[in-house]
Structure 1
């Protein structure tokens, strides 16, 4: 799992080729190392997704250096998220925007308005209560597999913790958790045939998954307006900040953002975390020796190397120059966080897993700016609680060889990860 690869020639690298994202992680890493050594961002042609309704553009700048990504992220007035969408290379068709047009694909002042309303509702629950809830979910998740001695870690542990927490926070009944999980897989799968089995109906499957989740939250929101509960949906439908409230469409889009992004990204960080701790037993022993001392650093290092979100897109608002590079109005720039988190100019020996790494200025939650991840603290807490539970109760848990990565340029995800451990009794 921790192999190195020969550096390819620049002409052999095509980030728009779906085959590139099927390569082993070591080969991807070697390719990005080559790109970081170039004089500036390389221009790539757009991928061709015209068969599912996306109009092909002229191409994009691939920003792979930490400094370039920070500089662009700090200039939202020059590099926007709302033109064409931030989560896809090609401009988002109108029919997709209806379901996937969350605040991650918006700019100020609308983005600031939504974030202000959502942030107020998001922090209503005390951190102490949320911490207890996360600990309880982590314990229940380990209980479910503890006696067996093996499981599919990606599906049965890593996916279950953030899924349960997000759904419980939102007020989604337990009988709908698997429904949300399956639809979120479809949306973020990058056209992987395991999740979208009918290639000729990709657009239909994506739109159906989005509409089904939005319909679910619409039903929940209607009920909460009449009978509020102590959950996030109730707070969102009643939120009023400076005279502003969310429309039904905005509530649905935010739910989709949390259900998809909040679940999938943390799931994959936890999965990569077990792989890293298995590959680096000395770091595992150090973490287990003092979870309170080394836990926070371990979470940051896991997130840095996992980089669950591989890129975000920005669109150039006006002609400008940033870090010596000229950008033209209307051009696209892809911010490859996965590469920035391995930038040799920022992280000495960047492929080394070091839970004591200080400083650790990764951009796995996004770079500083208006779109820094709203749920970063929640994700950190979920990762920390999961590994505390695992290393305390299943101390010899080890990852086997992972199934291939999800075939996606956007999500650095592992579909299945077998693991083994000495069976233990569930807590009483």
Structure 2
């Protein structure tokens, strides 16, 4: 999974030069990627690409790249035809059977099984528990900024600030002991950063697959051991609530609990971390917007957070498979086709967002799809993510108003729009 050096890449001037399945594309500078997706959005119908070649799965016949906002909405609203459960939603190639044990969470399922699991999990997020989480977010964010001020400028904002808040909240929610925070953090980096050589040595594809399966196995083993302890002896955390939940006679199996934990810790940790990191970067590059937010921190926060999520779009895409022939917005899809919903591109669609590349903390309306499109797979943790981003920036703007981001080091990934490291100064 190596890429050419920038000098060897020709500039993209037409759709024919774009290959979203080529790792070289995702190594290009952000401005070049933005230009490529703008060209794709100008097409009358979605462009069709060959699937990435991987040794652990047979290639399918290709996929439609869904890059326009209107198309993402229409397909998301039709989960019966554009399904998530046939081969997985989080990867373009079909998920091998051995992956399903660890990564076969409800995000990769369809109704009725998806509805059953979401119903059980949603009951665990009671108003009382949500209220407790919100109080915990404030305490955790204050502590993170306390320690940032103690360390002083020059530290890595990603690891010292952006990653710490969601990691602590997710682990505390589940009842993961503090001694295991780093263990969870490192494994979640492997799960979402397997294509980046910093997290997984790229010696060969088999080693990458082995690293993924090992990380999944270790995370699942951790939560299953805790679940065994709390079965019948709850301690007030989410693991206790889930392992002892009985909704209409239904309970989560240990395998389902383990897969849900991997989904929660990866989605709830990595994506919020990247939104916070890219939020500081946006404020640094747009000092006028920072000044405006500082003029009324609480008043501007709701719209500012939505704008951060829109431009950050931490999850680049989700995949769907077509269950029957259908025409959507003038484009034809055949049974068995794949459609990859590029949320990052949809959130820059000039047909929906005026001046889409600008950062405007007063943008209203802001119908972004940063938490996914409408339908059964809309992000379960959107409320918590918004709360974490809001509280983190309230602490930073209120106590470290001069903080600025340095040059970001981006994650090498087609799935996650991530920042690995980023120095900060104040």
TM-score with structure 2 length normalisation?
0.95
Query: Are 1:286 and 2:289 an aligned pair?
Result: no
Q: How far is the alpha carbon of 1:125 from its aligned partner?
A: 3.4
2:330 is aligned with 1:327: no
Q: Deviation of residue 23 (structure 1)?
A: 1.1
Q: Aligned match of 2:241 in 235, 238, 257?
A: 235
The CA distance in 1 between the partners of 2:309 and 2:332, in whole Å, is: 31
Query: Could you tell me which residue of structure 2 aligns to residue 271 of structure 1?
Result: 277
Query: C-alpha offsets along residues 230-274 of structure 1, whole Å, 9 cap, x if unaligned?
Result: 100000001111221111111111111001111000000000000
2:16 to 5, 11, 14: 11
Query: How many equivalent residue pairs?
Result: 414
1:307-326 Cα distance to aligned partner (Å, 9 max, x none): 00000000000111111111
Structure-2 change in CA distance of 1:212 and 1:126 (3 Å)? closer
Q: Which segment is superposed worse, 288-297 or 7-16?
A: 7-16
Displacement of 1:190: 4.2
CA contact (8 A) 2:85 2:110 kept: yes
Q: Secondary structure at the match of 1:333?
A: strand
Q: 1:84 is matched with which residue: 84, 87, 94?
A: 87
Give 1:58 shift.
1.3
CA distance in 2, matches of 1:350, 1:320: 30
Can you list the C-alpha shifts for 1:152-171, whole angstroms capped at 9, x where unaligned? 00111111110000000000
Conservation of the 8 A alpha-carbon contact between 2:275 and 2:313: yes
Aligned to 1:248: 254
Which range moved further: 260-269 or 148-157?
148-157
* Mapping 1:381-400, distance limit 5 Å: 381-400=387-406
TM-score calculated relative to the size of structure 1: 0.95
Task: Name the residue aligned to 1:54.
Answer: 57
Separation of aligned partners in 1, 2:66 and 2:233: 48
Cα distance change, pair 310–100 in 1 and its aligned pair in 2 (3 A):
same
| 1:297 maps to which of 296, 300, 303 | 303
> Stretches of 4+ moved more than 2 A in 1?
5-8, 123-129
1:39 aligned onto 2:37: no
1:292 deviation in Å? 1.4
Q: Distance in 1 between the 2:398 and 2:242 partners?
A: 37
Question: Are the aligned partners of 1:149 and 1:420 in contact in 2 as well (CA < 8 Å)?
Answer: yes
User: Cα RMSD over matched residues?
Assistant: 1.2
Q: SS of the residue aligned with 1:335?
A: strand
Q: Which of 174, 178, 185 is residue 174 of structure 1 equivalent to?
A: 178
1:162 and 2:166 correspond = yes
**2:414 is equivalent to residue 409 of structure 1:** yes
- Decide which of 314, 338, 348 is 2:320's aligned counterpart: 314
Q: 1:63, CA displacement in angstroms?
A: 0.4
Provide the residue aligned with 1:150 in structure 2: 154
* Structure 2 gaps, min length 5: 1-9
